[in-house]
């Protein structure tokens, strides 16, 4: 997060985040990036996709790629359980936005986290790239990893996501 963005957030007071679980750790994404949460159901796999892309879903007629966040972090994906969900997010890249689904183990709650309770991302020690982390939110005496969804799901890093959804459907 840039210093100017951090100052804007601090001036605006608390920000709402959707918290969720991945491999026993609590993560959060800013609520403004969240479009909806849906039950995990069968995905259409698409050949020759990166390991972190589980497939695509049909969301009201639109083809939406679904990314496994643990796979994106270079870790082994969790098993699918009855609490597994797909969080539909809107990411921004340059002047375009794209809708992407992310697989999470379980959705927890929406929290207000005050800017004063957000620490900078650690320079080392995290089990993922530091540019994926917007900050560390202090909630009830524990840290919540605040993800920068635009970095985590950057089409530049995940080359498949820059393809037009129609191309992905044809490949399926």
* pLDDT, position 172: 47
Q: Domain range for residue 136? A: 3-171
> Which residue pairs, CB below 8 angstroms and at least 24 apart, start in 137-145?
137/17, 137/28, 137/111, 137/113, 138/113, 139/19, 139/111, 139/113, 142/26, 143/119, 144/17, 144/19, 144/26, 144/27, 144/28, 144/111, 144/113, 145/25, 145/26, 145/27, 145/28
Contact 91, 100 (CB under 8 A): yes
* pLDDT, position 35: 96
Could you tell me which of 99, 170, 132 has the C-alpha nearest to residue 22?
A: 132
Q: What CATH number should be reported for the domain holding residue 55?
A: 2.40.50.180
* pLDDT, position 41: 86
* pLDDT, position 162: 40
- Residue by residue, pLDDT tens for the chain (172 residues) are 444 444 444 445 669 999 999 999 999 999 999 999 999 988 998 888 888 888 999 999 999 999 999 988 888 888 899 999 999 999 987 788 889 999 999 999 999 999 999 988 777 655 667 788 889 999 988 999 999 998 888 876 666 444 444 454 454 4
Q: Which stretches of 13-158 are DSSP H helices?
A: 69-72, 149-152
Distances (CA, A) of 62 to 15, 134, 146: 30, 29, 28
Report how many domains make up the chain: 1
């Amino acid at each position: 997060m840039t210093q100017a963005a951090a100052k804007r957030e601090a001036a605006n007071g608390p920000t709402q985040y959707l918290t969720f679980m991945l491999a026993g750790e609590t993560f959060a994404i800013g609520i403004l990036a969240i479009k909806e949460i849906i039950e995990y159901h069968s995905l259409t796999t698409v050949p020759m996709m990166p390991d972190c892309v589980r497939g695509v879903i049909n969301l009201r007629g639109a083809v939406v790629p679904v990314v496994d966040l643990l796979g994106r972090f270079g870790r082994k994906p969790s098993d699918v359980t009855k609490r597994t969900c797909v969080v539909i997010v809107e990411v921004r890249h340059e002047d375009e936005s794209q809708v992407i689904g992310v697989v999470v183990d379980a959705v927890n709650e929406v929290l207000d986290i005050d800017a004063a309770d957000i620490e900078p991302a650690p320079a080392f020690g995290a089990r993922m790239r530091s540019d994926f982390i917007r900050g560390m939110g202090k909630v009830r005496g524990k840290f919540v990893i605040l993800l920068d969804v635009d970095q985590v799901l950057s089409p530049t890093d995940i080359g498949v996501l820059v393809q037009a959804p129609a191309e992905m459907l044809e490949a399926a």
